[in-house]
Structures are given as C-alpha cells and as structure tokens.
Amino acid sequence: MSFRFTIAAVAVGLITTSGLAATAAPTTGTTSTVSTVAAAPARAKYVYLTFDDGPSTPYTAQILKILRAYGARATFFEIGRNVARYPSLTRRVDQMGNSVQNHTWSHPNLRKVSSATFRSQVQKTDRYIRAQTGYTPRCLRPPYGATNKLVSRRAAALGKSIRLWTIDTRDWSRPGTSVIVRRALANVHSGSVILMHDGGGNRSQTVAALPKILRTLKARGYGFTTMSCT
C-alpha cells in the first residue's frame, strides 16, 4: 500500500460557486457544515489536488505522468463503474502514491436516493476500489457536491467522511486551458482543495493546464499531499 501522510481532520465551511454540471458547486439542503479537508502539516504550505469522475482513458494516465514529473500526489475520487471498466488504472493511481477515494458507483444525487440505494452506491464502489488498492476508502465525495445532514449521517453510518472542495476550476465546462489555470490559482492558500476532473468527458484542457498549475504552486512554495479521512 502506498505511503500516506497522517494529517489531522478539521472542519471547513462549505463555499458556493456558480454553475452546475457533471460535478458542480456544492449544494446543500440545510445549513449544516460539512468537513471538506484535513489540515495541512503546519511545517509547510500544502494544497490538495483532487480529481473526480475517473478513471478514464487516456486522461487518467496522462495526469499521473504529469504528477510524477512534478513530484506531486493527488486524491482521486473515482466512480465505481469506471473502476470496474479500468481496474488497472485504479491500481496504477494507488501504486504511484496517490489516494483513491469513493465518488459513488454511478454519480447520482445522494440527496435524492433511498437509504438502500445510498448504501449500494457506496459499498459496491468500496468493493471494486479495495480489490485494486487493498484498502477501503474512508472519504466520500457526493456527486455535484450535493449534501445535507441526511447524506452526512448515512455516510457516517458506512464509515465515511464527506470531503468536498474549496476551489472549483469548473474544468468540466471546457472553458479553456488558461481559464482553468487562473481559477485554480486565483484564491489558493495553504490547505486549499482544488477540484479538477480526470473523467466524465474530454479532459484534454485539464491535462494541458496541470503543468502550469503545478509549476506555479511549486514556485510559490507549496507542496502536494493527499486527503485524510480518519
């Protein structure tokens, strides 16, 4: 199993952003606060790169190659049916020191499903990820960021912590490479969780933007680590 940083979990308030698509701004049905990130080590500045909706070909492998070139690690919130389709990619994500976490089986809005469907969506994905990585994900990222108190309770009953994001590049909308870069960097600070995608459509712009994002963050003194849900 890949080495993981041990990092303390803290609660971070949800932020809202405009627009809805394959993975859009976090939507909540209540005013409850959901933990979005584990705290970065105090000794250095860190950001959390996260990729949703994979694995997919060719984009996951391309992103992994770029991450390795820059000495960066990321957290991949994977769709279970994509893990079933590309198991070797999930295994490779893990073997290269990244974290593989749960993004449900088929990307439903978890606020609108029954308890039985919720459990099936999460546990089936767990099984397929565990078969490739040897561990059961502890983090759950609800599709669309759609969460509320009920979603949080159901996740906790399955041993999961909800993890969202603080910076949404909205790369799913294919706004252009330079726009993705600008959105990723505009309000970054230590502990930021940057949302991008390696699946769910054409992610060539995300792949093209990633080297500039990594170079700029490294030049600003940031390191990269994976999310913890202990």
Check residue 45 and give its pLDDT.
Answer: 95
- Domains recognised in the chain with CATH numbers: 36-224 (3.20.20.370)
Tens digits of residue pLDDT in 171-216: 999 999 999 999 999 999 999 999 999 999 999 999 999 999 999 9
Residue 110, φ and ψ in degrees, nearest 5: -70, -15
Query: Any residues with CB less than 8 A from the CB of 171 and at least 6 apart, and which?
Result: 180, 196, 197, 203, 205, 206, 209
Check residue 36 and give its pLDDT.
Answer: 47
Kindly name the residue from 103, 168, 197, 198 that is annotated as catalytic: 197
Token pair 């759950």 in the structure block, residue: 140
Q: Would residue 126 show up in a list of annotated catalytic residues for this protein? A: no
3-class secondary-structure state, position 216 = helix
d(CA 60, CA 172): 15
Q: Would residue 107 show up in a list of annotated catalytic residues for this protein? A: no
d(CA 33, CA 37): 12
pTM for the whole structure: 0.84
Asked whether residue 42 carries a pLDDT value surpassing 70, the answer given is no
Asked whether residue 51 carries a pLDDT value surpassing 90, the answer given is yes
CA-wise closest residue to 48 among 201, 171, 229: 229
How many residues are recorded in the chain?
Answer: 230
d(CA 209, CA 49): 13
Tens digits of residue pLDDT in 99-155: 999 999 999 999 999 999 999 999 999 999 999 999 999 999 999 999 999 999 999
Q: What is the largest CA-CA distance in the chain?
A: 47
